[in-house]
Structure 1
Amino acid sequence: MRAAVALLAALAVALPLSGCGLQPMYAGGSDAAVSQGLAAVDVPAIPGRGGWLVRNALQDRLEAGGEEPTRYRLDVRLDDSLEALGVLNDDTISRERRILRARYQLIDIESGEIVLDATAGSDAGIDVVSSEYATIAAEQTALENLAEEIADRMTTTIALALRERERARETAAP
């Protein structure tokens, strides 16, 4: 009896979704237009340690679709800041916040058109402890984690933009 009710509930949920037009973004694997578009993105060097981390994380995600001729360039500007959050009575800092923001543009190399102009950012809280080494290690770990998170967000946004661009091409073609 429970299995029948569960099956009916699943069907009731699935029926409205079938007409909504949802489809997997990476359907088709590395042959999909989105995967090929991501693999065709070149990421020039980004200044600073944070830039190096973000660029490496982006390259790991973008090159997952294989090797494609470069069609797009991703220009990224980072803003990395560290600010004091908690200040004790003796004016020592007890907590910091590391903020990493990226402003990026995806440019079609052939036409010079800006396909995407967006921002991504994240922040992390850091406890400042009596060991200076531990605090520096925590700041560096926070930067590494933020770089990964920003690269994930950027890749998702770029994939969505490329998918919409491909859809527009398909509807425009006779």
Structure 2
Amino acid sequence: MKRLLPLIALVALSGCGLRPVYGGGSHGAVAQGLGHVEVLDIEGKSGWLMRNALNDRLSNLSNGNGPSYKLVVKLDDQISGFGLRSDAAITRERRTLRARYQLIDEATGAQVLDDTAGSDAGIDVTSSEYATIAAEDTALERLSQIVADQIVNRLALYATRKAAAQAPAPGGQ
């Protein structure tokens, strides 16, 4: 019976309509729909981290033969203090990274996607200024990875929906 349960679960999942987003590799809907995405330069240290994170994730799609796109990203990176001791010293900070991104079809110049992504992280402020700065930098690196994941997931969802909308109806009609 224990061996039968995973098999039943697989059969049930295949019938529910769930499909892997990256199914088909370079021949799948995401690679065919996005083909090649060029991430334009982004200002500042946070922009450099974000662009590298996005390029790392999007390099797998560059083998596709679909249309080419430009990805324009504008970042808002903020640090705010909110924990206070009795002597008014800050004990906690929140680093927030927000991205507004636009996907532009290079062939037509049309903006096909305009969305935002973001995340935040808490930082302990210590008596060591070096440790606090290191924690702020580590938070920025982690936030860049999280926000890049959100952006790439949204691009993959766009490509999947675009492919589904262009697919012929069942039965070839």
Task: State the TM-score, normalizing by the size of structure 1.
Answer: 0.87
Q: Is the 8 A contact 1:77 1:102 kept in 2?
A: yes
Report which of the two has the higher share of helix. 1
C-alpha separation between the residues in 2 aligned to 1:15 and 1:36? 28
Match of 2:24 in 1: 28
Which of 27, 39, 43 aligns to 2:39? It is 43
**Shift, 1:168, TM fit:** 1.3
Q: State the Cα distance separating 1:39 from its structure 2 match.
A: 4.8
2:115 paired residue number: 118
- In structure 2, stretches of 5+ residues that fail to align are none
3-state DSSP class of the match of 2:48?
A: helix
Partner SS, residue 116 of structure 1: strand
The one-character-per-residue Cα deviations of 1:116-170 (angstroms, maximum 9, x if unpaired) are 2211111111111111111111101100110011101111110110111112122
What's 2:76 paired with? 79
Q: Which moved more, 1:59-68 or 1:71-80?
A: 59-68
C-alpha contact 1:36 1:66 (8 A) present in aligned 2:
no
CA deviation vs aligned residue, 1:71-90 (integer Å, no higher than 9, x gap)? 11111111100000201110
Classify the secondary structure of the residue corresponding to 2:2: helix
Q: Partner residue of 1:161?
A: 158
Task: Identify the match of residue 95 of structure 1 among 86, 92, 97.
Answer: 92
Output the aligned Cα RMSD: 2.1
Residue number in structure 1 paired with 2:101 = 104
Tell me the SS of whatever aligns to 2:60: helix
> What is the aligned-residue identity percentage?
52
1:133-148 equivalence runs, <5 A: 133-148=130-145
My pick for the range that moved more, 59-68 or 83-92, is: 59-68
The code of the aligned residue for 2:37 comes to V
Does the C-alpha gap of structure 1 residues 38 and 133 become closer, same or farther in structure 2, counting only changes over 3 Å? farther
Query: Deviation string for 1:82-120 (max 9, x for gaps)?
Result: 000201110100010100011111121222332222111
**What do residues 24-83 of structure 1 show as CA deviations (whole Å, max 9, x unaligned)?**
122222232313444511110011111111011001110123445761111111110000
CA distance in 2, matches of 1:56, 1:36: 22
- 8 Å contact from structure 2 (residues 27, 64) kept in 1: no
- Is 2:33–2:162's contact at 8 Å kept on the other side of the alignment? no
Counting matched residue pairs gives 170
Q: 1:63 to 1:39 in 2, by over 3 A?
A: farther
**Which amino acid is the alignment partner of residue 147 of structure 2?**
I
